Amino acid sequence: MSVAIVLVDYNGLADTRRCLESLRSQPACIVVVDNASAQNVEAALKADFPDVQFVRSPTNGGWAGGNNLGLKHALDSGAEQVILLNNDTTVEPHFVDSLTQHRDCGILGPVIRYMGPPHEVQTEGVTFNKPSEPGFFQRVPVPLDGGIVDVDIVNGCCLMVHRDVIEKIGFIDEQFFLIHEEADFCLRAQEAGFKLGVLGESLVFHKGSSTFAREGQGIQRYYDARNLLRLLSKHRGRRGERSHFKSVLHAWRYTLSRYALEREQGYRASADAVLAGLYDGVMGRYGPRSDRWRPGFSVMRGLIETLRRIKRYIG
């Protein structure tokens, strides 16, 4: 096969079924990774989708681990281009044909719209860590003219990667598990000399945040805070970006602001998840989240909470 599409399912069977329906006419091999879902995905879907290939993981490897299983299966089967596609999406009929004709990009994605009306644009292109911008991920508008806009990061909801990228930089870093792993993957590809772009065509409709809707926002807050530190550490010293010192300082400010916002909105568990992520990031604890003992965590939380209250009091 020349083109493969990889979907990862973690307790999202209805979403996966809908996505597969939209993929029926696509000229590609489809691989579904069952990321240790409660229900056996292959048993539930094989009769309706007999041509789909299924890979079952004994454990939930997150976005990173699940997609790596799919990538390895696709490459071992001879794929030259692999499209990583979130299972809570649907696609346009010309989805594969549009993406695969642009062979000069090592990684390429489309403009993505929300699934629900009025189908507004959800994601376009992204640049990373520019000192003139307030955040770490700056949105880049992509006109719907069929052209390609150069970017630093392609959204992990849908990205096509060429075989030679994997052969040169390796697979997705599973220490991220979830959140910022596609940013790291894209930046590694860019640093290895590959072109990254977003195609000016709206090809994918995304339901959005299905995993977090099921598992709660705390899981997103944890991995965001933790993995941002790993991302900055792995990609320090990039030309045209903040220094590493300024980047880490900015990350701490962002994370503590997120903590304060969660507390002020009454989301105590999500606020604690932010601090747990920060703690584990500083300690170098990566991979799947664990509720293991964090010595000194209560003291850290008490100090940060005191500072938050003082700041709120003095305005």
Answer yes or no: is pLDDT of 315 > 70: no
Q: Sorting pLDDT into bands at 50, 70 and 90, what band is 213?
A: very low
Note the pLDDT of residue 208. 73
Q: Are 84 and 28 a contacting pair, CB within 8 Å?
A: no
Q: Sorting pLDDT into bands at 50, 70 and 90, what band is 220?
A: very high
Q: Sorting pLDDT into bands at 50, 70 and 90, what band is 211?
A: low
Answer yes or no: is pLDDT of 306 > 60: yes
Answer yes or no: is pLDDT of 309 > 90: no
Residues 267-304: pLDDT tens digits? 999 999 999 999 999 999 999 999 889 999 999 999 99
Q: Are 235 and 137 a contacting pair, CB within 8 Å?
A: no
What type of residue sits at position 220? Q
Q: Which residues contact 108 (CB under 8 A, 6 or more apart)?
A: 99, 102, 148, 154, 159, 160, 196, 197, 198, 199
CA distances in angstroms from 138 to 11, 73, 152, 203, 232, listed in the order given: 31, 33, 10, 22, 15
Note the pLDDT of residue 311. 76
Residues 152-174: pLDDT tens digits? 999 999 999 999 999 999 999 99
pTM for the structure as a whole:
0.94
Residues 104-125: pLDDT tens digits? 999 999 999 999 888 999 999 9
Note the pLDDT of residue 1. 58
Answer yes or no: is pLDDT of 128 > 70: yes
Answer yes or no: is pLDDT of 47 > 50: yes
Tokens of 291: 């509720």
Note the pLDDT of residue 214. 41
Residues 233-272: pLDDT tens digits? 999 989 889 999 999 999 999 999 999 999 999 999 999 9
Answer yes or no: is pLDDT of 314 > 80: no
Q: Are 35 and 61 a contacting pair, CB within 8 Å?
A: yes
